Amino acid sequence: METILILDFGGQYNQLIARRVRECNVFCEVKPYNTPLEELRAMEPIGIIFTGGPNSVYLDDSPRVDPDIFTWGVPILGICYGCQHLAYSLGGEVTPAQDDSAREYGKTVTRYDTGCRLFKGLPEEGVSWMSHGDYMAKVPEGFALTARSDACPNVAIADEARGFYGVQFHPEVNHTEHGVDMIRNFLFEVCHARGEWTMGDYKNTAITRLREKIGSGKVLLALSGGVDSSVAAALLAEAVGPQLTCVFVDHGLMRLNEGDEVEEAFAKWDLNFVRVDAGDRFLLKLAGVDDPERKRKIIGEEFIRVFEEEAKKVGAVDFLAQGTIYPDVIESGAGDAAVIKSHHNVGGLPDYVDFKEIVEPLRMLFKDEVRQLGRELGLPEYLVSRQPFPGPGLAIRIIGDITREKADTLRLADAIFREEMARAGEDRNANQYFAVLTNTRSVGVMGDGRTYDYTLALRAVTTSDFMTADWARLPYELLDKVSTRIVNEVKGINRIVYDITSKPPATIEWE
């Protein structure tokens, strides 16, 4: 299978590069920049992409790849730091920008040499997304300048004879006009990819790898009933069948009637299904805790402890499986990346886990790819298209400390919001929507009497990959109906607000 090798230097957009390559139906794998060269060469890549990163290549402790990679005769595309690394390694000079005008951040008008294969078929001018404070003062011998901006004459460089290309901007992000076309040109015009890889191929490869890894061992899967864990369950069932036990932990922070619905849905599957009612246990651990990171870590550790107990009942379980996907990983922090929030199944894991290994078959996939894989596995559409729900559940939708009364209040309000979204047909337009019980109380008047109750926030977003998102423009009539119903039907709420913040700067969840 033809493969594009992506070498990761720690940049924030790195996994988006892989996603763009896959969208072109070309298989790719992401490897750390310091992976042994023999391992990388064994992959027989048809092309290599150097990612961005936060470092300066001229510093002694900056990450660098083994220079022998430039002798393979394989095309290379360097992005941002990857571009500077390429130039520096081949005899160019990279220095800090001499003044503020040479530093470029954000949307930048860029002019391209469309005679270069990387920019073939593109307009001669467009907007690119820059994020660099270093400057290529001298390009290596054999390289031509193929793109420029007002502040920088060497926005892109190319050695067409060797198939080496570098761009100071980020073609993988949506902000760069025709960025995907540039990546496509590298794949097909430079690397001569066939573009035959599909999610069906990924499914078959993943099943094979799971069988090799698990062997005759037993697997315990954390099954929430959401899209990610359901697809992971189907994939593991296909791979190891009766060796799999799915444990659904009802931590008392699920949506209205969700525990019963999950049990009913999976009762028909050919799986070992175990439901654990642990609401009292989780609420006791969370009592008095108002910090969101602590909530996630407490829930993450308690999940593991419950799984360990259930594993002992099953007997000799070797692997813990999780439906972790890449947005979970990147937001929890990896390498030099910042911790946005620790997901309960990533940054929230305790230091010691009583299993041989954790298996995460979806770890390299984005949400839309997970849904596509679910369809390949034959999962019903209602399950594949299900609304995302975080593992910590309502715990991170209740701002401040958590009580059973607050959870019950939010459950009812959230159910009304979801019901009215479906009635209005807006559930097909918003990719995620939910209610948040804030920790703010305000004065109101109901029945000619004064109230002092909680403010409830409604949140609805549109997104394709859950890495970025825009707030959904819901009809005023719908918001009015939801507000009226919640205030009248749910005790303890007297004010409704609608969140109109995109991601970034906000995250989709409030905590």
Of 305, 242, 310, 308, whose CA–CA distance to 276 is shortest?
310
Catalytic residue, chosen from 172, 301, 369, 509, is 172
Does residue 238 have an active-site annotation? no
Contacts of 136 (CB under 8 A, 6+ apart): 83, 84, 87, 92, 93, 94, 154, 157, 168
- Tell me the two tokens of residue 67: 């220079």
Question: What is the rounded distance in angstroms from the CA atom of residue 216 to the CA atom of residue 219?
Answer: 10
Q: What is the distance of C-alpha 209 from the center of its chain?
A: 22
Q: What is the DSSP letter of 479?
A: H
Catalytic residue, chosen from 80, 116, 152, 191, is 80
- Residues listed for the chain: 511
Question: What is the rounded distance in angstroms from the CA atom of residue 220 to the CA atom of residue 223?
Answer: 9
Contacts of 46 (CB under 8 A, 6+ apart): 2, 3, 4, 74, 75, 191, 192, 193
Question: What is the rounded distance in angstroms from the CA atom of residue 304 to the CA atom of residue 420?
Answer: 36
- Tell me the two tokens of residue 241: 């069948």
Tell me the three-class secondary structure of 37-72, residue by residue: HHHHHHCCCCEEEECCCCCCCCCCCCCCCCHHHHHC
Question: SS3 of 323, please?
Answer: coil
Q: Position of tokens 């460089």?
A: 157
Does residue 80 have an active-site annotation? yes
Catalytic residue, chosen from 28, 83, 132, 170, is 170
For residue 16, give the H/E element and its range. Answer: helix 14-23
Contact (Cβ atoms closer than 8 angstroms) between residue 278 and residue 252:
yes
Does residue 293 have an active-site annotation? no
- H helices of 165-225, in order, are 179-185, 199-214
Of 120, 119, 123, whose CA–CA distance to 169 is shortest?
119
Contact (Cβ atoms closer than 8 angstroms) between residue 77 and residue 99:
no
For residue 433, give the H/E element and its range. Answer: strand 432-446
Question: What is the rounded distance in angstroms from the CA atom of residue 441 to the CA atom of residue 493?
Answer: 9
Of 510, 508, 485, 509, whose CA–CA distance to 496 is shortest?
485
List active site positions: 80, 170, 172
